[in-house]
Every structure is written in structure tokens, then in C-alpha cells.
Structure 1
Amino acid sequence: MKTHGIILSVGLSLLVLSSCTVVRQGEVGVKRTLGKIKPAPLMEGAKGFNPLVTTIIKVPTRTMNIEVRQPLPSKEGLTVQSDVSILYRVDGQQAPKIIEQIGRSYEEVVILPVFRSAVADISSRYYAKDMHTGQRAEIEKAIRELMMTQLKGRGFEIESVLLKSIALPAGLSRAIEEKLNAEQDAQRMQFVLDKERQEAQRRVIEAEGIRDSQKIINEGLTPMLIKFKTIEAFNKLSTSPNSKIIVTSGDSPLMLSADKM
């Protein structure tokens, strides 16, 4: 009798445990009873149910990441390989409808096919080189917006589409690299030319300054000023203690040292 009691207790305990589940944060529960989906989602917390007729399906509502390696067709007909991250989340209020209409494999059934259609449509509008430049953000935004349009009302929010590890065709990669090198060489040459041009302008300005200075001096040297400066020079020479001979015509002195005579 004791053995039967223990077995009964264990069986009841297992039944109780199997009839309870916990819905954690970042997910909702979808109750299916006798094959019918309940329209209201189960929020986080412990939930009891009859395991004989009911199943609780847990659907994550936090941000999910799908990694895809996708060939991208370009406008000129080339194929660019890229690793793509699709960040999306499920609207918890619409989780029962998603499970009812699509099932648990909604990534493979809906999100990935919509992504492949959108990325082929958008990438074919751009040249391959655009996917490797600053236009990548523009392409990502356009893919996301097109996906949101196609998934509107279905309970999915596409947060971001990120193009990573863009692999251009070998010939195009070399052409882009050569173009960048040529642009850098042109920029360096432009820098040298600008520097030489600035130096030439500096010399012109310097020459103009010297010319203007000489012009001002020449215009200021009147005969009276020259005679006045000559008289000043004579006065300074006359007060000098050194022996010297001054030869002059009265206009400008010529000084000879007496020691060298």
C-alpha cells in the first residue's frame, strides 16, 4: 500500500509540473486548446493548463537577429556577395494570429522570402560600387522600408537591415582601388599646385611692397631734403674725433681716412 501511495504521489507531482509553464520576459505565450488558438496572448508569469488538451507555445518578442549570406544583383548586372543581418521583433499582441496563420516557422515562411524579394528589388537599382561606399546606409534603409511595406499588418517589425562583409567582383575591386589611388594622387598634386600658387602670390605681393616702398622713398627725396641730409652728414663728420679728409662738391661728401693716406 505504501508503494502504491508513493507511485500515486509521484504521478500527481509529475502531472502538476507538466500542467504549469512559465512565460518569461521578452516572450508571450499562445494557448492552443484542442487545436484552436486563443486570441489573447499570455503575458509573462506562471501559467497553468491541462496538458491533455492544451499546449502553450512561447513566442519571443525581443529583438531577433537572422544572419543570411545573400548574393546581391547590381544595376550593371554584377553579383555582389554580402553577409546580411536582419533585426526584427514580433508584436506580442499579434503572436496568436501569427501562430494560427503562419505557424512557428515564420522566419522561413515569411521574413526570409520577403527579405530576398526586397533586397533583389532594391540592390538592382544601384551600381555594385555603391554598395561599398556611403550609399550602403541608403540601400539598407530602402530594403527595410520595402520589407515593412510588404509585412504591414502581419505582426512583424523590421528594425534594421545591415549589409556586412561586402565582397565585390575581383575586377571591380581593382578598378575601385585604382580609381581611389588616382584620386589621392590628384589631390596630392592639387595640394602641391595650390602651395606653389600661394608662394607665387606671396612673391608678387612682396615685390609690389618693395616697389611701392621705393616709389614712396623716391617721391620723398626732393632736392631740398637731399641738401638738408648732406648738411647733417657734414655736421656729424665735423664732430668726429677721427682724422679724415673730406672731398665734396657741396652736395655729397666723400670721406677718406687720414690713416690710409
Structure 2
Amino acid sequence: MKNFLFLMMCLALSALTTSCTVVKQGEVGVKRTFGKYADRPYTEGLRVFNPFTTTVVKVPVQTENMEVSLNLPSKEGLNIRADISILYNLKANKAPDLLREIGRNYENNVILPVFRSTVSDVTARYFAKDMHTGERATIEVAIRDQMAGLLEERGILIEAVLIKSIQLPANLARAIEEKLEAEQRALRMEFVLQEAQQEAQRRRIEAEGIRDAQNIISQGLDPNVLQFKSIEAFLELAKSPNTKVIITDGDMPMLMDPQQPGALQSTLKN
């Protein structure tokens, strides 16, 4: 009986002096004993610690989305309102150093100040209209690269910086729209001109073909050919049973209608 009571007392004392926590996937745990962080982080799994002397601080290491709304300065001095997402993650092996040097509020203490400084430096190199066109991707990459160079050593990896929305001043937005419309009209006019040029080229080629064909035909109609065709015409007329009067100069036959003297019915020529 005494042994049983002693065993129960040992178990109760052990339960009072130990605790456990679960480190989930996508995060690491860093043990903090008497205010000092351990050098090696815990990965996912069940972890046991002494609740009287130790705590386990959990830090996410999966991709995080930090959204920021701010005014972006442009090259011409305008302020462009924008909503921006910063996608980042933490290096698991750097979590203890991050907690020791920066603390758990690393987003506001480091990431946000670095982002504000970087975005002001980058966007000031571009005109406001560039942020509304294809240059946006270039601006995003420039911000990401500059932030990565400043934060990677601290264990913060910047995956992407995404400008989700841009609110241009009303006058500038209208000017950009007018410019785009003018460019569309210019492209349409260029298409119409190209189409007209192609049609003119087609007609020119067709006319040249007709001219060449007529030249070939005219060159082939020499006196001998004409006399041969005339003979063929005489023969065809002779086969006709109808009454006819044929007048000829020896080269070209002419058929006269005997009921209407003097009227030229047809001239056969090829």
C-alpha cells in the first residue's frame, strides 16, 4: 500500500513539473528556458517541456500573405494609392536567431519598414502611367529583389510582391484612357491602309496580266493568221442553208441580210 501511494505521488509530481505541446506542420517551435532561446528549433510533432522553467514559442514557416495599403510616389511627383500583397516565408533554421534579434512581431518590426523604404525607392523611378501598364510586373520584381537582399540574411525569404490595385488620380486616368483610345484608332487606321494597299496591289497585278495577255494576242495576229481565219469563216458560211450575200475584199467576209440591203449584219473576225 505504501509503495502504491509513493508511486502515485511520483506520478503527480511528474505531471506537475512537465507539460507537452504539439508543433504542427508548417511551423517550428523554439524552446525558451529562463528567457533564453535554444539554438535548435523543434519540427512538427509532440514536444515535452517543463512548464515552470520553459515555454515553446511557435513560428510559422509556410508562405504568409502580408497586405499593405499605401501611397506610392511616382517619378513626376504624384501619389498613387495602391493595395499590395507581400508573400514571404521564414527559414526554419533561422527561427531562433529571428526571435532573439527581432522578436515575435517581426512583420511590423522589420518586414514593413523595409517594404516601405524599398517601395518608395523603386516606384520613384517610374512614371505613374507605368504602374497601370505592363511595367507593373517590372516594378513588382524590382521591389521583391531589393527586399530579398535586405531580409534574406535574417531568415526572411520574400517570394513575391504583388500590386493588386492601383488608384490613379482622375485627370491622369482619363489622360491614359484617351491615349489608349488614340493608339487603338491609329492601329485601326494602319490596318485600313494596309488593306487598301493590298487591294491596289491586287488590281495592279490583274491589270498587268490583262495587258500582257492582250500584247500576246496582238503579236500573234499577223496577216497570215487573219487570212487563215477568214478562210475558215468562208467555209462555215458556205455550209449554211440560208440565203446570204457575202461581200469580201479577199480577206474579210461580211454577211449582208438580202431583205435589208445595205445593212451590215455581222463582221467575222478573230
Distance 1:249 1:45, change over 3 A: same
The CA distance in 1 between the partners of 2:241 and 2:150, in whole Å, is 108
Q: Is the 8 A contact 2:17 2:51 kept in 1?
A: no
Alpha-carbon deviation of 1:27?
0.3
Letter in 2 for 1:47: R
Counterpart in 2 of 1:107? 107
Counterpart in 1 of 2:265? none
Counterpart in 2 of 1:83? 83
> Matches of residues 134-145 of structure 1 in structure 2 within 5 Å?
134-145=134-145
Alpha-carbon deviation of 1:240?
2.3
Counterpart in 2 of 1:38? 38
Q: Deviations over 1:184-231 (max 9, x none)?
A: 111111111121222222222121111111111111111111111111
In the alignment, structure 2 segments of 5+ residues that lack a partner are 262-270
Moved more, 11-20 or 153-162: 11-20
Q: CA RMSD in A?
A: 2.2
In the alignment, structure 1 segments of 5+ residues that lack a partner are none
Counterpart in 2 of 1:26? 26
SS in 2 for 1:72: strand
The CA distance in 2 between the partners of 1:57 and 1:148, in whole Å, is 25
The CA distance in 2 between the partners of 1:71 and 1:19, in whole Å, is 48
SS in 1 for 2:143: helix
Distance 1:17 1:171, change over 3 A: farther
Distance 1:13 1:63, change over 3 A: farther
Higher relative contact order (CA 8 A, sep 6+): 1
Counterpart in 1 of 2:168? 168
**TM-score (normalised: structure 2):** 0.88
Moved more, 198-207 or 133-142: 198-207
Length, aligned pairs only: 254
The CA distance in 1 between the partners of 2:159 and 2:183, in whole Å, is 37
Distance 1:88 1:196, change over 3 A: same
SS in 1 for 2:154: coil
The CA distance in 2 between the partners of 1:179 and 1:245, in whole Å, is 80
Letter in 1 for 2:20: C
> Matches of residues 174-189 of structure 1 in structure 2 within 5 Å?
174-189=174-189
Counterpart in 2 of 1:248? 248
Moved more, 194-203 or 75-84: 194-203
Alpha-carbon deviation of 1:169?
1.1
The CA distance in 2 between the partners of 1:41 and 1:18, in whole Å, is 19
Q: Is the 8 A contact 2:17 2:52 kept in 1?
A: no
**TM-score (normalised: structure 1):** 0.91
Alpha-carbon deviation of 1:243?
3.0
Letter in 1 for 2:106: Y
Counterpart in 2 of 1:198? 198
The CA distance in 2 between the partners of 1:241 and 1:149, in whole Å, is 108
The CA distance in 2 between the partners of 1:154 and 1:226, in whole Å, is 102
Alpha-carbon deviation of 1:14?
11
Counterpart in 1 of 2:119? 119
Counterpart in 1 of 2:264? none
SS in 2 for 1:125: coil
Alpha-carbon deviation of 1:239?
1.4
The CA distance in 1 between the partners of 2:16 and 2:210, in whole Å, is 105
Q: Deviations over 1:77-125 (max 9, x none)?
A: 1111111000000001010111111110000000011111110010001
Q: Is the 8 A contact 1:147 1:158 kept in 2?
A: yes
